[in-house]
Chain A
């Protein structure tokens, strides 16, 4: 299946997109398994074509480019190298390809930022954010359901909530930093995130019960 044929069109809504997303997820799960099993470079290139521009966007929005123009591209290289090496850890029953790749990108970003800040300790990001955890409790079905809900409901979020959620989840900013940037009280940021999580139909935290 050609990647370009199933790339979702931004702004497209409804059933078609959901179907496309399911196909897209299946497609990349297959490609990751081929990389794991056979070191298949064509499958790897398909993954690169789709995800590299997203990883680069993640690097840019995390502010990496302020610290060096080459850094978002370096992040792409490091993340793709990790995907190549760790493909056998990918388990489609546990996570969607995008979730797995996001966690790798997050961990690599943490390690790059630490090197820049010249802050070191004895642990690297993979020691703290364990990619191999044996959490069979939450399988593909769960991740699929969450991704479906989130995809659907994200579009319906008021702009102010969506903006904050995107900043909090992707931009390497604490709630406090987001509050400072938007000149909002910390409590307002926290309650907007919380409202958004409710609308995304996530289970409530243990603390909120």
Chain B
């Protein structure tokens, strides 16, 4: 189990359904690996449910139930909800995002042994990316702007701060200068969250934000 987790604030925001799509996808993917954080989310949902039940009620329209039943009766009976397939490889939420497989994504290759693909830009301008480092690949020394996240979804890598395996939810900031190196025994796949592109200067600008259009 990993030592790197979302903060309790992030888990509360996830449990209450608040916050950016990219961040919530990353938290969801982390939960796939982390029973401790899953347990915490379930507790927060219980807290929310108690508060939900204690709300002052707001009267609904008189014909609400009749309308609901009319809607139900006018629709074909719902198909039984299929049990979800066990994810073949990545967390379910990631599998859904890359439904056509990793090779159908649009990749950019900022350096040998590293490729990156932009999965989505969310409503807050955060970019969710997928990074694929070949086994042993070392990325040159660089830093990050505030509140960026990397989440290992397969394999692992190390840097000056530690070693990270599947599920590691790594908070990166301006203090974090590192040159990550993928484990030698296999490729490393990461989800990343970065701010929408701003123009960066310097030779390694693309590492801070690989989604810059050159």
Contact = CB atoms under 8 A, between A and B. Distances in A.
Partners in one complex: yes
A206 B67 CA distance: 46
A205 B51 CA distance: 20
Contacts of A107: 17
A40 interface: no
A165 B51 contact: yes
Interface in B40-88: 40, 42-61, 64-65, 67-69, 71-72, 78, 80-81, 83-84
B48 A170 contact: yes
Size class of the contact patch on chain B: 35 or more
Contact of A86 (B5, B18, B28, B81): B81
A118 B59 CA distance: 29
A28 B94 CA distance: 34
Interface of B is mostly: helix
Interface string A65-80: 0000000110011001
B212 interface: no
Interface of A: 10, 41, 45, 48-49, 52-54, 56-58, 60-61, 72-73, 76-77, 80-81, 84-86, 88-89, 95-96, 98-99, 101-103, 105-107, 109-110, 114, 117, 119, 121-123, 125, 127-130, 132-133, 135, 137-138, 142-143, 146-147, 150-151, 154, 165-166, 168-170, 172-175, 190, 193-194, 197, 200, 202-203, 205-208
Lowest 9 CB-CB distances: which A-B pairs, in order? A53-B57, A205-B8, A99-B49, A106-B17, A57-B55, A102-B49, A119-B123, A146-B46, A56-B58
25 contacts: A49-B65, A52-B65, A54-B57, A76-B60, A77-B71, A84-B78, A88-B80, A99-B46, A101-B49, A109-B17, A110-B17, A114-B123, A117-B123, A121-B122, A123-B97, A128-B21, A135-B38, A147-B46, A169-B12, A170-B52, A175-B12, A203-B40, A205-B5, A206-B36, A206-B40
